[in-house]
């Protein structure tokens, strides 16, 4: 005649299952999943400016960051990404824009004229703390486009042209271009 209660093997399984649930619960309290960190710019905060070459950029589900390398000192500055992140005035959600050797991942909104490792940028940022550590947070990157200098002399190979008497102005006379 079969036994009508729990069999010893089933009881052991349930005890093991309960112990495993308690272990997972205890670890969840000791190692909490960190909250998302994409801070919004505070209303009354001092905004700082840094310039350099954009060297790295990445964002995930919980946080993101980027770095620039200062042109003069070669120092690398790291910034957390704020929300919403704007590059050249447009909101960008791109996670990994790619480099010259690696393709971008889901980045249809990344500006075509901004390239990691080559683009000179101006970063607007504020200072704050996270977990007691001083950090810099940015929600605005603007590419710095070097202005094209005006020509200082007329082309010498244009028939009928005369040299520019004012080298700081782009005035050429005669000839056709």
pLDDT band at 177 (very low <50, low <70, confident <90, very high): very low
Task: Read off the pLDDT of each residue in 77-93 and give the average, rounded to a whole number.
Answer: 95
pLDDT band at 5 (very low <50, low <70, confident <90, very high): low
Task: Read off the pLDDT of each residue in 48-69 and give the average, rounded to a whole number.
Answer: 93
Q: Categorise residue 104: left if φ over 0, alpha if ψ from -120 to 50, beta otherwise.
A: beta
Say which CATH class 48-143 falls into.
mainly beta
Task: Read off the pLDDT of each residue in 56-72 and give the average, rounded to a whole number.
Answer: 91
Between 17-21, 23-27, 105-109, 120-124, the lowest mean confidence (pLDDT) is in: 23-27
Block residue for tokens 């089933």: 10
pLDDT tens, residue by residue, 126-144: 999 998 999 999 999 999 9
Length of the chain as a residue count: 177
What span, in angstroms and rounded, lies between the C-alpha atoms of 51 and 138? 12
Instruction: Domain ranges for the chain, please list them.
Output: 48-143
Token reading at 48: 């700082």
């Amino acid at each position: 005649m079969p036994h009508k209660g729990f069999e010893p093997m089933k009881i052991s399984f349930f005890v093991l299952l309960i112990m495993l649930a308690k272990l997972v619960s205890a670890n969840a309290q000791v190692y909490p999943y960190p909250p998302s960190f994409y801070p919004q710019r505070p209303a009354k905060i001092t905004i700082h400016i840094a310039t350099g070459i954009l060297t790295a950029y990445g964002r995930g589900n919980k946080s993101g960051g980027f770095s620039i390398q200062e042109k003069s000192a070669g120092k690398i500055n790291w910034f957390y990404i704020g929300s919403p992140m704007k590059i050249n005035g447009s909101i960008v959600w791109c996670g990994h824009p790619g480099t010259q050797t690696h393709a971008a991942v889901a980045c249809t909104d990344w500006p075509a004229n901004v390239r990691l490792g080559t683009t000179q940028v101006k970063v607007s940022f504020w200072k704050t703390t996270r977990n007691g550590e001083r950090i810099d947070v940015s929600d605005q990157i603007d590419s710095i486009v070097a202005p094209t200098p005006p020509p200082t002399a007329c082309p010498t190979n244009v028939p009928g042209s005369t040299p520019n008497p004012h080298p700081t102005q782009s005035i050429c006379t005669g000839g056709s271009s």
